[in-house]
Structure 1
């Protein structure tokens, strides 16, 4: 079961997850054809780039907010 973020400082990391929303929801910024990358219009490779950025940001937020492992107090 998921554990809640323990500290207020840990909750700040969650704001990184807003960046992909902003980058993808502002369609007029990337609704263009040029520049092309490997023959793909900017519209498509910009969105694909955000998929990769989102994965990296999600991993960073996970690592920074996951609770520390508990040691089992000498029990085996």
Structure 2
């Protein structure tokens, strides 16, 4: 099992809700939305790729990037949940 980073414990004994892993998960899930909502960054025809205007291939590239980022976020979330369950002694299973 890979080393699990130590999560700081809140004064009441509860784990904090916002951890570095959860911030990375949120960024992975938010990045595609920000990229697609910032239309002025890709609303142009050049550079074309194999005859396809930039506007179209850029969006299709984000389909693949979004898939990869969602997979990363899911794996990180699973790892975080397993680590939290293990620290609580497996009480949630």
The two structures have a TM-score, normalised by structure 2, of 0.61
Residue 50 of structure 1: how far off its partner (Å): 0.5
Q: CA RMSD in A?
A: 2.0
Structure 2 residue 34 is matched with structure 1 residue 22: yes
Gaps of 5+ in 2: 1-16, 86-93
Number of aligned positions between the proteins: 65
Paired residue for 1:59, among 44, 63, 71? 71
Gaps of 5+ in 1: 1-5, 71-76
CA distance in 1, matches of 2:71, 2:57: 21
Residue 7 of structure 1: how far off its partner (Å): 7.0
The two structures have a TM-score, normalised by structure 1, of 0.74
Q: Give the ranges of 4+ consecutive aligned residues of structure 1 lying more than 4 Å apart after TM superposition.
A: none
Q: Deviations over 1:9-31 (max 9, x none)?
A: 33212221111011111111111
Paired residue for 2:48, among 19, 36, 41? 36
